[in-house]
Amino acid sequence: MALNTLASAPTVVVGAGIIGAAVAFELQRRGQQIVLVDRDEPGRGASFGNMASIAVTEFLPSSRPSIWSQIPRWMLDPQGPVRLRPSYLPRLTPWFLRFMAAGRPSRVRELESAGAALCKRVYDDLMPMLSAIGATDMLSTEGCLSLYADDAELAADREHLEVIERFGIAHQVLDADALRALEPGISRDIRHAVLFPENRTVRDPYRLVLALVQRFCELGGQLASGNVMGFERSEGRITALRLDGGRRIPAATLVLCAGAYTGRLSKLLDEAIPMETERGYHTQIMVPGTSLRHSLIWPARAFMVSPTAGGIRVGGTVEMAGLDAPPDYRRAKVLVERAKQALPGLEAREATEWMGHRPALPDTVPVMGPSAKTRGVFYAAGHGHLGLTYSATTARLMADLITGARPPIDMRPYRVSRF
């Protein structure tokens, strides 16, 4: 396709991760002419290696008073759940101040409601999307088990359980026997568990992106390869994107879904979005020596284990070190050692390691809505730990906003002008 000779300007979606792919697919289904642009192959960003969980119980804002008190301890522990590279501290400070501000109790309540409003819609949007691409079998039927070694660990997670209970999200407390009836491979040292039946697992989140892009193209959508370097505007309206190599794509509407890189692109539009990366790691174990039906999280040890199409995936952790620093795979190895404490039969044979950039806003909820500065520009980014979970819902809501339909929920909590 000769991108710069398009007769009428299309809607351009930047970023073919799970968010951009889902948004492009939904807009295409609603009859819009869409160009989906990425500088890489689709699905190679954060959406490639996440922990595959439709994690509808995990919407609590990251900044809460109960978390603040743990931050100093985490900072001193090189193997702790959150790691800050000291050289990155000056760059992180403005974001961190906003993070702290988002944790005041009244704001936490608002952010919980904003996250819960999305989580409560997840399956209403996800099932039709999976069905439309013939991929309902990509979703497991089993939920997630949250593990606790003792009474103290269970008590420490009470705040989380109380919040999900307040929003009516299903969970079931299990004793040790009931836990092992569900997953016989789990260590006898785990005394309590909570089952989150609705936190189902996508067998391969990368393949889900590919399936969406493939169906998008079959419906007439255009996939373009290029690094977005700049934008053209006229009278306060977007008119085109500039790609590397001097190429140009006309655009009547632009949707920025560039994950953790969205802040760099919004800056080119003179719009400041405080986007950080919470870097996370996984180890994909092809020959794990054990099997698992549910995904597992162990809140006190801050890791997750998911059964995936290619074996077992162990991952988690948050590393604050920016977009450009090289990965530190020691963090992935620590998680595998912890996972072995939960699953004594786990072996790490034929394993690969991966690092990805969670797109993180300081108040945890994504931006989904129109630009406050440039007409025709929309943002769908900053989904943090829940981009896979929120993907179909984001697509539904963004397509409503862009096509002028009324979204089924109040979109004000996700507006970009909140920053």
Ramachandran angles phi, psi of 355, nearest 5°: -125, 140
Tokens of 159: 């705040």
Shortest approach of ligand FAD to residue 337 CB, angstroms?
17
User: How crowded is the C-beta side of 166, counted as CA atoms within 13 Å?
Assistant: 14
- Per CB under 6 A, which of residues 156..195 are in contact with ligand FAD? none
CB nearer to ligand FAD: give 115 or 315.
Answer: 315
- Of the residues 160, 200, 215, 358, which one makes contact with ligand FAD according to CB under 6 A: 358
Task: Count CB neighbours of 154 within 10 A.
Answer: 20
Neighbours of 281 (CB within 10 A): 26
Distance in Å, CB of 150 to ligand FAD, minimum: 26
Judged by beta carbon, residue 301 or residue 383, the one nearer ligand FAD is: 383
Minimum Å gap between C-beta 176 and ligand FAD is: 26
Q: How many CB atoms lie within 10 A of CB 319?
A: 21
For position 348 contacting ligand FAD by CB under 6 A, the verdict is no
Does residue 263 bind ligand FAD (CB under 6 A)? no
Question: How far, in Å, CA of 228 to CA of 368, rounded?
Answer: 20
Q: Which residues, in sequence order, are bridge partners of residue 230?
A: 242
Is 237 strand, coil or helix?
A: strand
Q: Are 19 and 223 in contact (CB under 8 A)?
A: no
Q: Could you say which residues in the range 89-118 bind ligand FAD, by CB under 6 A? A: none
221 sits near ligand FAD (criterion: CB under 6 A): no
Identify how many contiguous H helices and E strands the chain contains and give both numbers. Answer: 13, 18
The reply to whether 51 sits near ligand FAD by the rule CB under 6 A is yes
Task: Please report how close the Cβ of residue 97 comes to ligand FAD at its closest, in angstroms.
Answer: 23
Residue 45 near ligand FAD by CB under 6 A? yes
Binding status of residue 297 toward ligand FAD by CB under 6 A:
no
Q: Candidates 143, 250, 387, 413: give the one binding ligand FAD (CB under 6 A).
A: 387
List 255's β-bridge partners, or say none.
Answer: 13, 378
**CB neighbour class for 376 (10 Å; exposed up to 12, middle 13-18, buried from 19):** buried
3-state class of 223 per DSSP? strand
* Number of alpha carbons in the 13 Å side-chain half-sphere of residue 315: 29
Residues 388-407 that bind ligand FAD (CB under 6 A): 388-389
Tell me, residue by residue from 14 to 43, as one string, x for binding to ligand FAD by CB under 6 A and - for no binding.
xxxxxxx----------------xxxx---
In the complex, the residues that contact ligand FAD under the rule CB under 6 A are 14-20, 37-40, 44-47, 50-53, 55, 227-228, 257-259, 261, 265, 280-282, 315, 356, 358-359, 381, 383-389
